[in-house]
């Protein structure tokens, strides 16, 4: 598929979201673009991280790498030097009543395996400093941070494992990646009631971070990021353990938990 083809598919699908029948040839092309994009993309390595994008979006690679570098700068050297990849993904599907669709993780895993980028973190087409773009940046930062913290690519299981201390660490790494992601989190919180949900490309797969974990991150954002980063690196092993609690994470990072966990909280 050419760059024009990708742009055409995106334009047609935008209209299809209003129950417009998608032409058969466009439906076939969008299926390939969604499930097997690697053959249509250009990849570039920046600071040992592989970035793959559709031709129309190659200019975004520098922006993605700036954010990724921001996540990795507050991690131990062996973690920062691990093998990571980022691949642009398109996610199409029929949605009704704002019900999100499930991403085709199996097809994406197979595509990444063929392309030599196993465990690549998906990034979409939305990006910017407005509300929609900011939310998208923060979600990508969160899922990349989760990949770093858990050691696993985005799946339902890995998303569910981002709880307690891990949730604090993931959200703090995402929020401090750039000035824009910090601003995005501050913009998001008044709209969420104190918890944070970071969907993967607007899909049903999301990181869900509770009020207590968010309260810890909010307090950490009032301190210099490099100061907190030193504590993160020094306590990385304990902070990334699934069993480490929120109160323990707060103590390790020199702060306290505020408020009670929400009733029925997942973690």
Query: What is the total count of domains within the chain?
Result: 1
Packing angle between helix 164-175 and helix 131-150, nearest 10 degrees? 130
**How many whole angstroms separate alpha carbon 78 and alpha carbon 214?**
27
HSE-CB at 125 with a 13 A cutoff on CA atoms is 16
Residue 121: its H or E element: strand 121-123
Looking at residue 16, what is its pLDDT? 39
Looking at residue 10, what is its pLDDT? 56
Q: Which residues contact 244 (CB under 8 A, 6 or more apart)?
A: 164, 165, 166, 238
| Helices assigned H by DSSP within the chain | 3-16, 24-35, 61-72, 77-80, 105-115, 131-150, 156-160, 164-175, 179-188, 211-220, 225-234, 236-239, 246-252
pLDDT over 70 at 48, yes or no: yes
| Helices assigned H by DSSP within 81-130 | 105-115
Mean pLDDT for 101-115 is 95
Looking at residue 98, what is its pLDDT? 52
Mean pLDDT for 207-235 is 98
Q: Give domain status of residue 103, yes or no.
A: no
Domain span at residue 138 reads 35-98+109-252
**How many whole angstroms separate alpha carbon 259 and alpha carbon 265?**
13
HSE-CB at 193 with a 13 A cutoff on CA atoms is 5
Looking at residue 14, what is its pLDDT? 43
What b-and-e string marks burial along 102-115, b requiring 16 or more CB atoms within 10 Å of the CB? Answer: ebbbeebeebbeeb
**How many whole angstroms separate alpha carbon 67 and alpha carbon 140?**
9
pLDDT tens track for 120-165: 999 999 999 999 999 999 999 999 999 999 999 999 999 999 999 9
Mean pLDDT for 108-112 is 97
Looking at residue 166, what is its pLDDT? 98
pLDDT tens track for 225-266: 999 999 999 999 999 999 999 999 999 999 999 876 655 566
Q: Give domain status of residue 160, yes or no.
A: yes
pLDDT over 80 at 25, yes or no: no
Q: Which residues contact 168 (CB under 8 A, 6 or more apart)?
A: 213, 216, 217, 239, 246, 249, 250, 253
DSSP for residue 101 = P
Task: Single out the residue of 174, 160, 248, 251 nearest to residue 210, CA to CA.
Answer: 160
pLDDT tens track for 157-198: 999 999 999 999 999 999 999 999 999 999 999 999 899 999
Q: Give domain status of residue 213, yes or no.
A: yes
Mean pLDDT for 29-56 is 95
- The two tokens of residue 152 are 């696993």
pLDDT over 80 at 15, yes or no: no
| Cβ–Cβ under 8 Å, residues 128 and 134 | yes
Mean pLDDT (the chain) is 90
What b-and-e string marks burial along 45-61, b requiring 16 or more CB atoms within 10 Å of the CB? Answer: eeeebbbbbbbbbbebb
Helix (H, G, I), strand (E, B) or coil at 53: strand
pLDDT over 90 at 60, yes or no: yes
Q: Give domain status of residue 191, yes or no.
A: yes
Looking at residue 29, what is its pLDDT? 86
Q: Give domain status of residue 238, yes or no.
A: yes
* CA angle 134–135–137, rounded 5-degree value: 65
Looking at residue 27, what is its pLDDT? 80
Q: Give domain status of residue 15, yes or no.
A: no
Task: Using pLDDT thresholds of 50, 70 and 90, give the confidence band for residue 58.
Answer: very high
Its pTM stands at: 0.90
Q: Give domain status of residue 174, yes or no.
A: yes
Q: Which residues contact 7 (CB under 8 A, 6 or more apart)?
A: 56
pLDDT tens track for 34-47: 999 999 999 999 99
Q: Give domain status of residue 132, yes or no.
A: yes
């Amino acid at each position: 598929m050419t760059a024009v083809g990708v742009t055409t598919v995106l334009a047609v699908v935008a209209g299809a979201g209003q129950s417009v029948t998608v032409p058969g040839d466009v439906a076939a092309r969008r299926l390939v673009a969604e499930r097997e994009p690697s053959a249509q993309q250009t990849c570039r390595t920046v600071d040992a991280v592989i970035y793959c994008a559709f031709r129309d979006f190659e200019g975004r690679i520098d922006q993605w790498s700036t954010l990724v570098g921001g996540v990795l700068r507050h991690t131990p050297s062996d973690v920062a030097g691990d093998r990571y990849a980022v691949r642009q993904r398109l996610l199409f599907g029929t949605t009704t009543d704002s019900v999100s669709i499930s991403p085709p993780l199996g097809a994406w895993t197979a595509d990444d395996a063929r392309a030599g980028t196993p465990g690549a973190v998906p990034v979409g087409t939305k990006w910017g400093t407005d509300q929609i773009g900011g939310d998208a940046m923060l979600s990508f930062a969160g899922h990349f941070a989760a990949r770093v913290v858990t050691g696993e690519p985005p799946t339902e299981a890995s998303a569910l494992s981002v709880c307690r201390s891990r949730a604090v660490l993931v959200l703090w790494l995402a929020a401090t990646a750039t000035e824009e992601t910090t601003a995005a989190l501050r913009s998001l919180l008044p709209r969420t009631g104190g918890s944070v949900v970071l969907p993967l490309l607007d899909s049903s797969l999301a990181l869900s971070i509770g009020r207590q974990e968010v309260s810890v991150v909010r307090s950490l954002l009032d301190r210099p990021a490099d100061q907190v980063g030193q504590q993160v690196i020094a306590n990385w092993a304990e902070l990334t353990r699934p069993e480490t609690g929120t109160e323990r994470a707060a103590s390790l990072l020199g702060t306290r938990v505020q408020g009670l966990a929400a009733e029925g909280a997942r973690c």
